[in-house]
Structure 1
Amino acid sequence: MMEKNSVLSSNGGELQLPVGFRFRPTDAELILYYLKPKVRSLPLTATFIPQIDEIFQSHPSHLPGDVKQRRYFFSKRKWDYSKTSKSRINYISDESGYWKIVGKEKAISVNVAPRTSVVVGTKKTFVLYEGKHTKTSWFMHEYRLLPSQISTAPTMECENWYAYRINQRKRNGRVKITRGNTKKKIVGEDDGVMELSVDNTVEFGSPPLPSPLCSSNEEEASA
């Protein structure tokens, strides 16, 4: 049976999308076209991202939406790194687990001219630990808009919003399929969509050009 294709709306309901459509913004698109107007209190072009209070205080499986899909949320930061451990943030009141920062904060840039890019925001990556430091398959990315992207006009009201992307990393998802002289490897499976890499045994023509919006090093492989 074909899976239901839907996304959360800003009021917590579900919006049905046409078959084949996925809400998959790049890092730069998420920052520029969703987080930036949210911070500046401007109307959004679409209402696909709901607001969550204190997102770090809830287990991701308790947040709205399909846990099998990549989910996006807006939330205001109610803490800062100067007052808590820089590597741990408790997620529920009984302190049975925490989100741990992995890696360094990453700059997200967009191309504004040939060989010229501008940093518009940053991304932090967190992994969820439970119990006695047991690493789980839950990952969360936190997106922040740079102050340079916010208008300094005195009439502009800006709020401390952040965008979040939450999903689970698939395990043992690598499968190899051989058909005739063409070998295909399934290198990832997410939200019911399989991404295929095909060996060069058959001519398929030139690959599509990358999106002009984002720098080539912007996206990293994510869970």
Structure 2
Amino acid sequence: MERPRMPVGYKFRPSDADLIGYLALYVAGKPVNSEVCIPEKDLYSIEPWHIIQKSEERVYFLTALNKKSPLNSRYIRRVGDARGTWKSQGKGKPVYRSGCFEGREQRVIIGLKKSLRYENKTVPEQDGQYLMQQYSLTDKIKSGLKEQLKDFVLCAIKKKDGESTIIGCTREAANIE
């Protein structure tokens, strides 16, 4: 199935809350706006320079995280041939949605935004050159999901020196080999 093409000059600039919303729709099996193109891809099976090109500012993907063991809450962050890894840059920040909840206006935590940096000491020219923002749902929201969907996250990846405004889905990111 061919991905929709965005009009010339269109810039996909979703808020953090919008990205959490797209993730929630995806894991709930509900349709996302047809203008939005966020493909599913295993980001841990391939090095980031094979995913994002210099001409791209930021690419968005849905990916499943793999736990170190079924009972462990930690995830495997090795990438591709295991030489590189996505290193967490802190605990993350809550993502809020404002609205009328339980009859009053309030801000509710709907997810978490975590920053990661690609590290690979065996390929020095790539070490530290890629940044990832990882968006995940709250445990409360995930508790109602099927087990195989609980570890899905939405990721935004960019190359540190990227300058263009082309996004992943305009080059049919889902078909990257």
TM-score normalized with structure 2 length: 0.72
Of 24, 27, 30, which aligns to 2:16?
27
Q: Structure 2, unaligned stretches of length 5 or more?
A: 167-177
- In structure 2, the CA distance between the partners of 1:80 and 1:108, relative to structure 1 (3 Å rule), is farther
- Paired residues for 1:54-133 under 5 Å: 55-63=43-51, 68-80=56-68, 82=72, 89-93=77-81, 95-112=82-99, 116-132=106-122
Say which of 140, 150, 165 aligns to 1:148.
140
**Highest relative contact order (Cα 8 Å, sep 6+), 1 or 2?**
2
Higher strand fraction (1 or 2): 1
Task: Pick closer, same or farther for the CA change 1:25–1:66 going to 2, 3 Å.
Answer: farther
Q: CA deviation at 1:149?
A: 3.3
Report if aligned partners of 1:70, 1:166 keep a CA contact under 8 Å in 2: yes
Find the aligned partners of 2:117 and 2:83 in 1 and give their Cα distance.
Answer: 14
How big is the shift at 1:41? 1.4
Query: Which runs of no fewer than 5 residues in structure 1 stay unpaired?
Result: 1-10, 172-188, 193-223
CA distance in 1, matches of 2:73, 2:25: 29
**Structure-2 separation of matches of 1:44 and 1:65:** 26
Per-residue deviation, 1:133: 8.6
Matches of 1:150 and 1:100 in 2, distance apart? Answer: 24
Q: Per-residue deviation at 1:117? A: 0.8
Go from structure 1 to structure 2 and tell me whether the alpha carbon gap of 1:58 and 1:80 turns closer, same or farther (over 3 Å shift).
Answer: same
Determine the C-alpha separation between the residues in 2 that align with 1:63 and 1:145.
24
| CA distance in structure 2 between the aligned counterparts of 1:133 and 1:102, rounded to whole angstroms | 20
SS in 2 for 1:111: strand
2-side partners of 1:190 and 1:67: how far apart? 5
Could you tell me how far apart the structure 1 residues matched to 2:85 and 2:136 are? Answer: 20
Please name the residue that 1:50 is paired with: 39
CA contact (8 A) 1:89 1:98 kept: yes
Match of 1:139 in 2: 131
Aligned residues: 156
Q: Does the aligned pair in 2 maintain the 1:49–1:74 contact within 8 Å?
A: yes
CA RMSD of aligned residues (A): 3.1
Runs of 4+ with deviation above 6 angstroms: none
Aligned pair in 2 of structure 1 residues 35, 66: CA closer, same or farther (>3 Å)?
A: farther
Higher helix share: 2
Name the structure 2 match of 1:216.
none
CA distance in structure 1 between the aligned counterparts of 2:17 and 2:68, rounded to whole angstroms = 24
